[in-house]
Amino acid sequence: MKKRIMVVGPTQSGKSTLANVLNDSTRPLKKTQDVIYGKNTIDTPGSYIENASMYKYLIATAQTASHVLILVDQSRLIEVYPPGFAKSFTCPVVGVITKIDSALENSNSCIQQLKAIGIIEPYFWVSLKDNSGVEALKDYLSPQQ
């Protein structure tokens, strides 16, 4: 079975939009209620990270993932991840800062949040408006030939 990239983040942080880009898909965007398996991704509902009782589902789902992308939304500084959360996963965890074209003053707080979650650099800064930063993320995630 081909491994997929699991996308985790709070509601409205850009998970489904990023999953569409990584899948080369144009699936209509609506609130994700369940885990959605795409060609290359596992798109998880924001509620899974916003409710501690749902963490076990994220951790179980990640067992089939090659990587976990933890999204931090630069436009809305909300802290939904517990300290050290990245250590819950057995695969590599990658920090992705979304909506980098807004609230530039929050960029340092985003880095601090990723560090507190236990994610080490490199971090990827992406705008899903113009897909800036997405190619670097795709290159990083693509298996080395």
Read off the pLDDT of residues 118-130 as tens digits, 9 standing for 90 and up.
999 999 999 989 9
With beta carbons less than 8 A apart as the criterion, state whether 97 and 107 touch. yes
Q: Which tokens in the block code for residue 131?
A: 């897909």
Write out pLDDT tens, residues 97-108: 999 999 999 999
* Cβ-based burial of 24 (10 A; exposed 0-12, middle 13-18, buried ≥19): exposed
CATH class of the domain defined by 4-141: alpha beta
What sign does the CA torsion over 29, 32, 35, 41 have?
positive
Residue 110 to residue 104: CA distance in whole angstroms: 10
Put simply, whether the predicted model's pTM sits higher than 0.85 gets the answer yes
Which helix (H) or strand (E) segment is 47 a member of? helix 47-50
